[in-house]
Structure 1
Amino acid sequence: MKLLPKFLLVAFLASAFVSCSDDDDAPAPPQGDPTIAEFVAENDDFSSLGAALEVAGLVGVLNGTDEYTVFAPNNTAFTAFLQANGFSSLGEVPVDLLTKVLLNHVVVGTNLSTDLTTGYISSLAVGSASASGLSLFINTENGVVINGGANNGGASVFESQVDILVSNGVIHAVENVIGLPDVTNQAIANPQFSTLVSALIAASTDQTNYVDILSGSESSPFTVFAPTNAAFDDLLSGLGASSLSDVAPATLATILEYHVIAGSNVRSSDLTTGLTAATLQGEELEFDLSNGAQVMDATEANANIAIVDVQTNNGVVHAIDKVLLPQVIVDVIDPTITGLAMMNDDLSSLFAALQLTGLDEVLNDRASQYTVFAPTNAAFDIFLNGSALGDLPVEVVTQVLLNHVLAGTVLSTDLETTYTNSLATFGGTENNLSFYINLDNGVRLNGVSSVTAPDNEAANGVVHIVDAVIGLPTVVTFATADPNFSSLVAALTDDGQEAQNYVETLSTPNGTAPAPFTVFAPINSAFDNLFAELGVEGIEDIDPATLTAALNTHVVAGFNVRSTDLTNGTVSTLGADLTVDATAGTLTDPNDRVSTIAVFDVQAANGVVHAIDTVLLPQL
């Protein structure tokens, strides 16, 4: 019989701890006040508690000078406890059990009601699984509720009977005896684990009830690595599922069992880097403490252990921020692109960015196909340059991410050296930004990023992992990325020429004057022809004023003139008016030099580029 991750239940509960130390600000009881034991003995409403303390030999403990906080059940609570457990009188309760139950109501230090916060606190009780104190879950969202209240083996504090100060601590009256919690109790008690509870129920059958199993002692103690609700949300998103009902119960059971180690109460002090442990599912977990406490599963994404050592009567729980997946599940699931990012530890920054922008839902759509060039965490670190992802405007991050996405599935064997379009757009238009792929030496993208791990196939496309974030391209980006423009780049950057400022000018962002630009960009053969015509060897032999005037004749400032905008007539550049023949796709300069537009509409974020086959010149 296999067990489920009831473990999950308790994990995150420890996220906030209730103070258990002496409170220097607590009002000191006046001299002569009774001790905890004396107050209980003198108060008729706690006579059953007083009798129980006598039987368990705890009167001396609560009668000394050490300070304690006691959640004190009244007589009605003890009567209900005896009836619920089949005891006709207090004398029938085994003394060792009674002692543990009573100590589970006692916490070290004076904790007033104002000191209590939602989270875990340790009682003096020691359960069956460990010599460490049992954890109590305190919920202060609506009063003070312990371990989920009376319906879950816990209790609620009477609002009218809190902060009863005595000489050695404080008493809070409760309406139920607090039982010894197991993993299931703690899962139900904490709303952070509502999805886990639902998963335990959904995975159970008539033969295997996971809630019951994780409540019992068979195969205990258990060590449970418990994913939070957020971790389950990420899993469902990665699987393209809208709810747990979309996951087969058998699959869910396998996943849950992978979070449970049976027969061992493994506390944080027992974990070491490289330690492995077999799970109820059968496969092993491995631990890595080199970069914080992490659990390694069959995916490439480790889970961080956020909270440790939530101790229950039948095991210990550690909260984790990811649902762990065994190899048997990894082999059969068909994750979306979002799922691949979620499961790859080196793409966690990308996954965070997708969630920030809402593009995780877009790339989770199984009805559409996409190709994603996915930057690694190191690539994001360089791109952010010390800033946090949240420091950037969401709309900017959205466009940058979309500039890594192509429509359709394009495997590495389908890639060609050419221009294509990403899903990013120019300004507020529907014009997609161009995307230059160069296969001359590996796969180079826009001249700034290379593919390092191609063809990671997903249910809705393919992911190629890249070594740099591909920023929004300027017109200069394409000039420098495309080797067909190497002579143009040399002209733009020619040392000693006024033209050397062109690179800076043409790199200005969209919307910054005088952007956007329309650049008619001569290809290398156009410059070769110009050199022959002028009788020179290269750019360096051209008169600076002539070079500057020539470059100006190829740039229209303030307009993003696409092919659909070209009509027969005149277009004014920074250097001269050109005559356009839209039908023939040609430009004529003042010297009657005719240039044919070879490539249209290479769209950048700050303008558009059209490749031409002749260098244009102003009036000579």
Structure 2
Amino acid sequence: MKKRIFNYSFFLLLVFTVFNCSKKEVDEYYARPDDLEPPIYQQLVAQGNFTNLTALIEKAGYKDILGKAGYWTMMAPNDEAFTAFFQEQGISNVSEIDSVMASKIVKYAIIYNGFRTERLSDFQSNLGWEEDLAFKRRTAYYDGFQNKTINGTPMVVVNSNRNNSEGGDFYIPGDNNNKYITYFVEEFMTNQGLGSYDYNYFYPNESYTGFNVLAAETVTADIVAENGIIHEVDKVSLPLINLDQKLEESPNYSIFRDMLETNLVQYLFDQDATTTYQNFTLNSDDVFVKVYDPALIFSPNNENFIKATDNDGQSDGYTLFVPENNVLQEFIDDVLLKNYPSLDQLPKYVYEDFFNAHMVQNAVWPSKAAGYNNALEEDIRIDIDNEVVEAEVVSNGFFYGTNKVQPSNLFFSVYTSAYLDPAFTLATRLFNDGSGYREIISNIYGRYTIFLPSDEVLTHLGYSYDINRSEWVYTSPQTGNTVTGTFARTRLLRVLYNGIVPTPNDELNDLSGSGIIRSGDFDLPGEYIKWDNNQVYAAGNEVLDNRVNIIGFEDQQNGRTYYIDNILEFSEEAQGLDLQMIALETDSEYFNFYEYLRNSALYEETAGTIDGIELGTPYTFVIPNNAAIQQAVMDGVLPGDELTGTPNFTPSEQEEIDQVEHFIKYHILATRTASADGLVNGLTETLRKTEFGEKTYVNIVSTVGDLSFIDDNNRIADYIPSESNHLADRTLIHLVDNYLLYTE
């Protein structure tokens, strides 16, 4: 058998030939195309008018980065820009710029990712590109760790890179808090309804071109490089300071900053930041994060935006309105310290509210300022054209220096009388604890009168707050019984609500006469209170026979605060007892109606309770006078002598007993309290039900000074003012000149 002989020489020659052919083809396939533009650094050199910039790129150590891979946008100042920059800095040429300054200029000119002009205005959201919603981009520059002396102590400090929300993280390791650069591109400006006014508001000496980078104009846009895009600009931009740094560097606003730093800033040790710093520098120092109070809507040293999405800083920023020292000092003297001896005595929440009143978690464009709200949900009350003395674009938003303090609701309303006075901490605590009362009485676009009891008054009447248990306490002065928590809070809420009165025409500025008015807000009615010869009282005051005296007053921007020596107490007795008291007076016009009620099964005389009526629920009692009751007898509507109209208060026949009960129930209106003030109108259900269990209704017609009730037969019963408006628990008792009749 013949053996096959393998020719190794031929095999090696074949492999060598194939390998060489394949390598050549691969190299050709992956070779850099001849028509590909050079990388950014080489492109800048080739352009010929960026010699100063390329020198700084080398000095900053960025030649290798910009000369190879990556994907960048560079806002590149040309040589003419540097000539002007040298003059501004008082130097002769680029050799006088050190590596630190070179790094600032170069890194702040570099934007992550490459963007042609048409993409700079688009927001890179988590959902994809959102057209014409962006005016900023994150740069390669960040401040990093800084050596500072805080309250006399040297320390290494880094800024928080998140807003310090309650319970959230204020420092995320790995996030360098990179600064943003702002540009003004036509597509964004047009889409947002902005224009040259908005640009020139910040840069009054520059020309708006439709593609400005801060104060610079774009000379040549969209110079393509292998690793990104170059936009040639005519000015050198140093890294912008942020809002925190603006305050630090501006002596005209030092009082604002001192108040902020003293009360709402902490320097907190952070292990992650310390580890990063020690690994990078090989130093052993601890690192402290500058942290703003979580009650503030944003942290002025946070370069990022909300971080709801990674790039949301492209589309929005923060705004801070800061009053100059002189106007702020005047505000401190006249408002904040009216009842406090010094700033260090003010409660912390006052500082939180004051600064939030000057903070907007949006970039407030000058031409659109009226459309923004501050962190307290108030409109901006500073005239952008006449009350702003300085406007500056900063790295994380806009700064406005003002000659006016934002006239916040909290500092110029009747609410302020309690809020900024240590004698009224109990009322203030309740106003602020989610009751909604603060929002009502602090609205400077409405007018209110409030009757304000001091801590001394409330404590004397049994109300207190247990700080250790975080709960309200009420001890009855009459019985000594104590309730805590929700029950005690609800009592005080009702008491204070009795003292809140909408007065759009300052109806209560003169209490020398007498009258009646409804407390509470228009949208959430309270109870009726009365005044008489500079005293005020509610239903409970009548029961206890202790009216409320006015011991002083203060006028605020939205009304008047009366200081009182008692509380506007609500009634805790059944409405029937109030009716009984009125009816048993000599020659009372309520007598006939009450006698029918007293002898019916609806009424329990000792307690004064009426079947179907609950304490704490609004009612209107429409009581026909004696003559109207007699007419009802003569009309056969009520039992008695039809010839003489003499009532039979104790009928024995079931049909007549039912007659009485239906009559009484039809004259008690449920769920609403009506008076002659025009506040309540329309069909209102009664206590009476049909034989099928359906509700019956009476129509209320109320105007200022007049009140009528109309039944389903269009019978009209007009109220008699001199005998009406008697107070009871959430109830008014009116006398009328006719009876009402429901027909099945």
* TM-score, normalised with respect to structure 2: 0.39
| Bigger relative contact order, structure 1 or 2 (CA pairs below 8 A, ≥6 apart) | 1
CA radius of gyration, larger in = 2
